């Protein structure tokens, strides 16, 4: 009798989890996205000031939640080893408080990632932004074999720039982005594995469920 093939999990990312001293990060799921949409609805920043390169938070309140869901669904559906973004829902004591994205384009060749994130306004100012970015940087450098990481921020976005500097990023030029039909100067930021080793926190992230995800992020056999 022929032995039936071992079932292959069609979405192993649902088992991936990163744990830090205070936070838990998991790739987005629909129930968590509803909580994330509510965080966005409650507010992320002063409405008079736009910290993002795309002014997505300007959407009417009745549309913002749907926009959040559509954006995340689109990135989840488009994920492939050639071009991927894993949006981690950041939880504090079981509550979704923000999003931490990690992106790779042709990662098996470039070994470079990009990060982007946001926190609900009432959760800002407690060091969670540094902790959640450090978590995905540890995933990238320690577990995926990344060599560099990039980010960017508005010149006047002191909290975001503060996180980057604490973790060892250096300025790598500037760029101007059109936001709200106005020029918005941004700083490009670069972090190498060596710089991160010098600036990383004293704790280590606990990573579970990664091995089964590697074919989605790197190549068919999980290697470069």
- Taking only the tens place, the pLDDT of each residue in 165-221 is 999 999 999 999 999 999 999 999 999 999 999 999 999 999 999 999 999 999 644
In a domain, 48, yes or no: yes
In a domain, 223, yes or no: no
Under DSSP, the state recorded for 80 is: B
Q: Select from 182, 203, 200, 183 the least CA-distant residue to 191.
A: 200
In a domain, 27, yes or no: yes
In a domain, 2, yes or no: no
In a domain, 41, yes or no: yes
Stretch 145-158: mean pLDDT, rounded? 96
pLDDT of residue 2: 73
Mean confidence (pLDDT) of the chain: 94
User: Full-prediction pTM beyond 0.85?
Assistant: yes
Q: Select from 205, 211, 209 the least CA-distant residue to 134.
A: 205
Q: What is the CATH number of the domain that holds 66?
A: 3.40.630.30
Stretch 5-22: mean pLDDT, rounded? 91
In a domain, 105, yes or no: yes
In a domain, 224, yes or no: no
Burial class of residue 53 in the structure, from the number of CB atoms within 10 Å of its CB (0-12 exposed, 13-18 middle, 19+ buried): middle
Stretch 138-157: mean pLDDT, rounded? 96
| Rounded CA separation 143/35 (Å) | 29
pLDDT of residue 1: 65
Domain that holds residue 118: 16-217
- Taking only the tens place, the pLDDT of each residue in 89-131 is 999 999 999 999 999 999 999 999 999 999 999 999 999 999 9
| Rounded CA separation 105/127 (Å) | 29
In a domain, 71, yes or no: yes
Q: How many domains are contained in the chain? A: 1
């Amino acid at each position: 009798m022929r032995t039936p093939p071992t079932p292959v999990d069609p979405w192993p990312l649902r088992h991936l989890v990163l744990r830090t001293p205070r936070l838990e990060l998991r790739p987005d799921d629909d129930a968590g996205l509803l909580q994330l949409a509510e965080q966005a609805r409650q507010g992320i920043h002063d409405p008079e000031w736009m910290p993002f390169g795309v002014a997505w938070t300007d959407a009417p309140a009745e549309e913002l939640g749907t926009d959040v869901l559509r954006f995340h669904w689109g990135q989840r559906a488009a994920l492939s080893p050639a071009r991927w973004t894993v949006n981690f829902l950041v939880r504090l004591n079981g509550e979704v408080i923000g999003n931490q994205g990690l992106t790779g384009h042709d990662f098996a060749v470039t070994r470079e990632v990009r990060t982007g994130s946001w926190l609900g306004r009432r959760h800002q100012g407690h060091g969670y932004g540094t902790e959640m970015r450090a978590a995905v940087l540890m995933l990238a450098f320690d577990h995926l074999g990344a060599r560099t990481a990039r980010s960017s921020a508005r010149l006047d976005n002191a909290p975001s720039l503060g996180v980057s500097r604490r973790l060892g990023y250096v300025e790598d030029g500037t760029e101007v982005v059109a936001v709200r039909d106005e020029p918005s100067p941004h700083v490009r930021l670069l972090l190498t594995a060596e710089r991160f080793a010098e600036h990383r926190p004293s704790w280590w992230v606990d990573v579970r469920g990664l091995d089964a995800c590697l074919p989605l992020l790197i190549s068919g056999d999980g290697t470069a």
